[in-house]
Amino acid sequence: MIILGIETSCDETAVSVVEARGTLDSTHESVRFNVRSQALYSQVKIHAAYGGVFPALAKREHAKNLVPLLKKAVHDAAIEQIKEKSNFNEEKIKKILERETGLADMLLKHSADIDRPAIDAIAVTAGPGLEPALWVGINFALALGEIWHIPVYPTNHMAGHLFSPLITAGTTFQFPVLALLISGGHTELVVAKDWQNHKVVGQTRDDAVGEAFDKVARLLNVPYPGGPAISRLAQEARDANSTPQFSLPRPMLDSGDFAFSFSGLKTAVLYLLKKFDNMTDDVRRQVAREFEDAVTDVLITKTTHAIAAYEPRTLVIAGGVSANAHIRDAFEKLAANYPDLNLYIPPVTLSTDNAVMIAAAAYISILSGAQPATTIKAAGNLTL
Ligand code: KG4
Ligand code: ZN
């Protein structure tokens, strides 16, 4: 089946067309995805001025970019057009999109120009995320479902991250799956017993790892988003053999559970920086390196304990922070100690937010019996 994915939970606007096949039944052909197109517009530059994501601005940008991205995604996917104009009620579309400035006009104009593409279903992120941002994608998906007369499936963003490794050809999950999901809004260890049953066994009590990267970046005067910038600074310190002359805490390392806490680490960086008369480039590099090492130690230790406790056959590391090269390396080294454990980390383009993973997660929930929705509510705190 061909699924159009839509993702607007944070500061990436993404639309993608994915061809999905296979079943969840292990005796049959397993699920496979063919990414037909991936259109994405990142708003990071726009939000950089605010040092973080500014929800009202994200909402406006999503509304502005969804139709151009839809056009591109459908065009690039080169899907067959059904040679008929869609029959739909214009007033209904205007009503669905009444809160999304300018979007109804853009979508109606676009729909008047083209034939209906042969897409079977729409998958849209319903949460978790920033509610004003989520609403734009949801209303857009519902309007499009109405125009094309196809079902719309609300989809969990974290399920998207969890299943994102399956998009790469040749990957299959063997259960139980242990997943470490690390992003700007989440840090959680999830155990999946099978395709349907996922349990969060540990999560952060305060800041998410990505949030800690972003806040420390601000302290080091590097632009938002902090992850890539800190990672670059830390690598410069390693390349120059510049070993930090100080150490940062490894929070909750011995807490005996799978909980995380990163806000103290950020505060420790704040106090550490006060000790230096001026923040030279060398200090910034060393702080970035020690911070990245501290975060990596915590993630590796907690995951090692979770492997011992849950004996997974598949280990997934996903979410925006899994784009970090140092963290990826550390997990590859860890997994080498477990010959019976398959480690999957999605490629960088599928680590950070995207719409392919939303289409993939929707396909898995469709195979699990999920029903389409005619009304969907944004759920900022939706959990797995
Ligand atoms: O999954 P994602 O794109 O969005 C959310 O769902 O939150 O994750 C974004 C987060 C940001 O905090 C960003 O700083 C972080 O992922 N990130 C990184 C790297 N690339 C992105 N963190 C560390 N190293 C990176 N290379
Ligand atoms: Zn995400």
Is the separation of the CB atoms in 72 and 117 below 8 Å? Answer: no
Is the CB of residue 262 below 6 angstroms from any atom belonging to ligand 1? no
- Collapsing DSSP to helix, strand or coil, 244 comes out as coil
Are residues 126 and 138 in contact, defined by beta-carbon separation less than 8 angstroms? yes
Query: CATH number of 2-162+354-367: 1.10.3720.10, 3.30.420.40, 3.40.50.720, 1.10.630.10?
Result: 3.30.420.40
Helix ranges, 171-280 (H)? 209-219, 226-239, 263-274
Q: How far apart are the first and last CA of the chain?
A: 24
Indicate the top mutation candidate among 47, 220, 324, 352 to test ligand 1's pocket, ranked by most ligand atoms within 8 A of CB.
352
**Torsion, Cα of 293, 295, 296, 299 (10° steps):** 160
Calculate the alpha carbon distances from 15 to 5, 125, 280, 350, 354 in Å: 6, 11, 42, 13, 8
Q: Note residues around ion ligand 2 (Cβ under 5 angstroms).
A: 183, 353
Ligand 1 contact, 127 CB (< 6 A): no
Using alpha carbons, select from 15, 41, 59, 26 the residue that is nearest to residue 378.
59
Domain ranges of the chain: 2-162+354-367, 173-349
Q: Which of 108, 102, 42, 116 has its CA nearest to residue 74?
A: 116
- Ligand 1, atom 8, residue with closest C-alpha: 320
321 pocket-lining for ligand 1 (C-beta < 6 Å): yes
Substitution candidate for ligand 1 out of 213, 324, 345 with most atoms within 8 A of CB: 213
Domains 2-162+354-367 and 173-349 share a fold: yes
Which of 186, 224, 321 to probe ligand 1 with, by most ligand atoms within 8 A of CB?
A: 321
Q: What is the pLDDT of residue 51?
A: 78
| DSSP output for 111-130 | HHHSPEE---EEEEEEESS-
What is the sign, positive or negative, of the torsion defined by CA atoms of 262, 327, 303, 188?
positive
Per-residue pLDDT of the chain (384 residues; tens, 9 = 90+): 999 999 999 999 999 999 999 999 888 889 999 999 999 999 988 988 887 889 999 999 999 999 999 999 999 999 888 877 778 999 999 999 999 989 999 999 988 877 789 999 999 999 999 999 999 999 999 999 999 999 999 999 999 999 999 999 989 999 999 999 999 999 999 999 999 999 999 999 999 999 999 999 999 999 888 999 999 999 999 999 988 889 999 999 989 999 999 999 999 999 999 999 999 999 999 999 999 999 999 999 999 999 999 999 999 999 999 999 999 999 999 999 999 999 999 999 999 999 999 999 999 999 999 999 999 999 999 999
Distance 243 CA to ligand 2 centre (A): 32
Task: Give the fold, CATH level 3, of 173-349.
Answer: Nucleotidyltransferase; domain 5 (3.30.420)
